[in-house]
Each structure stands twice: as C-alpha cells, then as structure tokens.
Amino acid sequence: MLNDLHIQEQEVIDEHKECVRYRKGDVIFHEGGIPKGIYCIRKGGVKISKMTSQGKEQILFLSQPGDFIGYRALIGEEVYNATATSIEDSSICYIPKSDFLEIMHRNPAFFNKMIKKVCNQLGIMEQNLTIIAQKSVKERLATTLLMLKESYGMDGDESTLIDIRLSREEIANVVGTATETVIRLLSTFKNEGLIDFDGKRIKVINEEQLKKLAVA
Amino acid sequence: MLNDLHIQEQEVIDEHKECVRYRKGDVIFHEGGIPKGIYCIRKGGVKISKMTSQGKEQILFLSQPGDFIGYRALIGEEVYNATATSIEDSSICYIPKSDFLEIMHRNPAFFNKMIKKVCNQLGIMEQNLTIIAQKSVKERLATTLLMLKESYGMDGDESTLIDIRLSREEIANVVGTATETVIRLLSTFKNEGLIDFDGKRIKVINEEQLKKLAVA
DNA sequence: CGAGCCATTGAGTTGATTCAAATCCCGTGG
DNA sequence: CCACGGGATTTGAATCAACTCAATGGCTCG
C-alpha cells in the first residue's frame, strides 16, 4: 500500500521509520497496549491473536511481508485488542502515529484505500465468524488449509506446498479447536489422500476434494 | 452520525433520501446484492445475518434506530456478504450511494468518523469470533444476554427488561447453537435466578452472576 | 547428547446436537 | 368473538463430535 504514496510522502516515512528485527516468538505489540504507530512487515511472518481468560489463544489472522498491522486500534482510537507475535525471524518497520495519520489525512487516495481495506477485513471477519459458529471442526480445518494454501502456497509439481511453519497448536488456534483434534484430522486427511505432510511441511494434494469438504 | 453534518449536507440528504416502511420479516438487502446506497434505521430493528450452505443462519449483529447499515459493502466495493431483515415493523431511510460518498469525501470529519466506526466494528467482530471459537455455549449465551441488556435494556425496578422480541431460534442464531440448547439453558438460568422470562420478554435479574458466567 | 518441547495415539467423558413428540400461543378468518 | 391452524416453544431420549487427560515417542536446539 505504501507504494502508492507520493515520493515526498515516502521520504517522510523513510526518514522517521524504524526497522526492527524480531526473533520467532517476540511480541511486536500486546493486547491492552496503547498504539503509538503502525507496523509494516518487511520480512518474515506475524500472528495476530487474542487470549481468553482461560489462557486459550485464538489466532485472528496471519500477516505476511507487505502487510500493515496495528492500524485498526490506532485508527479506531482504542487499545490493542490483540497481540502480535513474530512466528519466524522477521524484519518489521515502525511508522509513528503522527506520520501515518498526517499522510492519511493529506492523501485522500490513501485514506480511501485504508477505509476500503478495513471494510474488506471486516467482511473477512464476518465470514470467519460464521464459519466458526456454524461448521464442524473438520470443515473448518479444510477451510483453514485452503486459506493457508491461498496465502502461502508455492506452486510445485502436482501438489502445492504450504510455505509456512505453524505448530499443530497454532493451526488449532486458527481453527478454534484442540491440538489433538487437529492432529487426528490431519492424519485422516493424509490417509484420504487430500494432503500430505512431513512434520510442519504440509502439501495440498487434492484441492478439489478439500473444497468439497470445506463447503459441506 | 448524520447529526454532525453541515446543514447544507443534511439538506442534500433530506432531498434525495427515501424512507420506506418494512414489515417484520421483510428483507432490506440481500447477500450477494450490489450496494447502491446505504440505509439508516429510523424506527424498528434489523438483523444482519449470513446463511451457510446448509441453510443455517448466523446473526452477525442487531441494528437499532440511528444505525447505518449496508455501508461496509458499499465502501469496501463488494457485494453484500450478509442479508438485512426487519425483525419488527420498521421505518428505514435510503441514501443513494452518490450522495453518501460525496458527503464522505467532502467532509473530512465525517470521513474520519466512518473509518473509526468501521475499525470499532472490526474490533467487536474479532472479539465475537474469539468468544464463539473458545467459549462454551453456556458462556456465550450469558454473553449474548448481557449484550442484549446493554443495547436494549430498559431500566426497571430491580430487574431489567430486555426490550427486543427475538425468537428462541434467533437467539440461537446469534449465539451460534441449536434452538433447543438455547431453550434448555434459558430455563437453567431462570431456575438459578439469573434471569426471568415470560415468552419473549426476558429480564436480567442477577447481572453480576451472569457476568461471572460470561467471563468464566 | 541431553532436556524439553512438539507430535502422536489411546481411552474415557461430556457438552451439544439431532430427532421426535407434545403443548403452547398467536393471528386469522368465519 | 371464538375456533382453528400452524408456527414456536418445550421436554425427552439417544447419539456423536470433540474435548480432556494421560502416556509415549520424536525432533530440535542449545
């Protein structure tokens, strides 16, 4: 998104931005914290998640290089309602609130893009909520695998490798289920020839069948 | 929100807006439809819901007089991803897309309010998703009752009447569960003295206890 | 090369669903 | 105004998907 800014605006950002390296597991911002800027992922990956009072984690989404994170709370003038954690070694730029807001207000096209992005994100969340509320864990896992393939799929031969290393627990926390259930279902999918995996490297073998399961 | 507009802008809206009466059950806009304007509820109530392929309904939220609906898809330049249905006799104003967008772009304060509103809504959805994914039906029903009390509560004597007439099925479709489960849990809550009800008129008796259940 | 986390498998339990049947309630038409 | 019909609500019973607890084996990283 930043590519569409005027040269002059890019210079402002470049001047003030601060790029930091995060190791796997490092927290970028924390639920309850006050937003003072936004983050743009340059390299690596980040999970945005919420903790319940029982200590269970729900992963809301996964961010990739090029994505903004932390803008919702900043623009909405709230505290962060989720935590951002690096899921691999990452390089992330920090843009101070003042710079970001100033550019947003001076550049109507950018403002437009932002509101559109938030609206799209809201649509996605509404869809996800419906899926979680109404579908079985099996269907949700199939849906999640397809989503991961869409976002992280590397085109290979006949099969498609999902190029992100999530633990079984993290997959469970996206789907909204128990770790053991994910493990059992992944095995089932493997036996049925829908996917293949060795450890954290998961490949989609039969996308069509997986889609049928997801819609079910 | 419209109250903050300049007189001049209000006049534009008043001139072009179109207020329509909807009976209970009437559809205002339909999932998959193309947004051509936004709606502002003047009187009554509306549910925004999605249908799954199995024909199950998920209610995403309930709107009251003063609320805008349909702006997410319009601003996000998507088709409606949910259906809006009148849950009682309602009076709803329609503001054409062109008027709405023009005002949004000419009035930065209003634009700001809109993006902030969408961000807040996104935060609410993220919270709801987490609750549905991680909490038991009992906890979710308690949460829903508190939300309804917050939005529709009428201050009464010791107890608080929830002034909205939802069917058991509709409550189930907010919570994301089966109708029978809602009925059983409502009875349990009644026996435990947390709530009281006669048909669709539900009163919150012991809010503290209900909150404890909701957080659980 | 050991420690500790991660993945896997088994077994038992349970929360929630589905199906079925009975009763209630509300709006409508006679 | 009242009887009727059909949807809404309630209750019961059986089933099952998913969770929890527990134990084992495997991998990774210092």
Residue B68 contacts residue B116 (beta carbons within 8 Å):
no
pLDDT of residue A157: 65
* Under-50 pLDDT residues of chain A: none
Å between A38 CA and C27 C1'?
Answer: 57
Which nucleotide lies closest to A141 by the C1' atom and the CA atom? Answer: D18
Residue of B nearest to A78 (CA): B120
Q: Residue B58 and residue A133: Cβ atoms within 8 Å?
A: yes
Q: Residue B58 and residue A130: Cβ atoms within 8 Å?
A: yes
Q: Residue B126 and residue A81: Cβ atoms within 8 Å?
A: yes
Is the pLDDT score of B177 beyond 70? yes
Report, in angstroms and rounded to the nearest whole number, the Rg of chain A calculated over CA atoms: 19
Q: Residue ranges of the alpha helices (H) in chain B?
A: 7-16, 71-76, 97-106, 108-134, 137-152, 168-175, 179-191, 207-215
pLDDT of residue B6: 80
- Summarised one tens digit per residue, pLDDT across range B7-34 is 878 787 778 888 999 999 999 999 999 9
Chain B residues within an 8 Å CB radius of A53: 215-216
The pLDDT-based confidence of B156 (bands split at 50, 70, 90) is: confident
Q: Residue ranges of the alpha helices (H) in A65-136?
A: 71-76, 97-106, 108-134
Arithmetic mean of pLDDT, B94-115: 94
DSSP assignment letter at B196: E
Burial class of residue B101 (count of CB atoms within 10 Å of its CB; 0-12, 13-18, 19+): middle
- Summarised one tens digit per residue, pLDDT across range A98-148 is 999 999 999 999 999 999 999 999 999 999 999 999 999 999 999 999 999
pTM of the model: 0.94
D18: residue with closest CA to C1': A181
Residue of B nearest to A129 (CA): B129
Question: A31, A67, A71, A30: which is closest to A46 by C-alpha?
Answer: A67
pLDDT of residue B110: 93
Is the pLDDT score of B159 beyond 90? no
Is the pLDDT score of B98 beyond 80? yes
The pLDDT-based confidence of B216 (bands split at 50, 70, 90) is: low
**C strand bases under 7 Å from protein CB:** 6-11, 15-20, 25-26
**Strand D footprint, Cβ within 7 Å:** A 136-138, 177-178, 180-181, 199; B 167-169, 179-180, 183-184, 186-187, 197, 199-200
- Summarised one tens digit per residue, pLDDT across range B73-96 is 999 999 999 999 999 999 999 999
Instruction: Determine phi and psi for B150, rounding to 5 degrees.
Output: -65, -45
Pairing of strands B46-51, B83-86: antiparallel
Is the pLDDT score of B139 beyond 80? yes
Distance from CA of A17 to the nearest CA of B (A): 24
Helix B97-106 vs helix B108-134: crossing angle, to nearest 10? 110
Distance from CA of A96 to the nearest CA of B (A): 18
Q: Which domains does chain B have, with CATH numbers?
A: 7-133 (2.60.120.10), 135-214 (1.10.10.10)
Extract the tokens encoding B53.
């392929």
Chain B residues within an 8 Å CB radius of A133: 58, 132, 176
Mean pLDDT of chain A: 94
Instruction: Write the single-letter amino acid at A211.
Output: K
Arithmetic mean of pLDDT, B125-141: 97
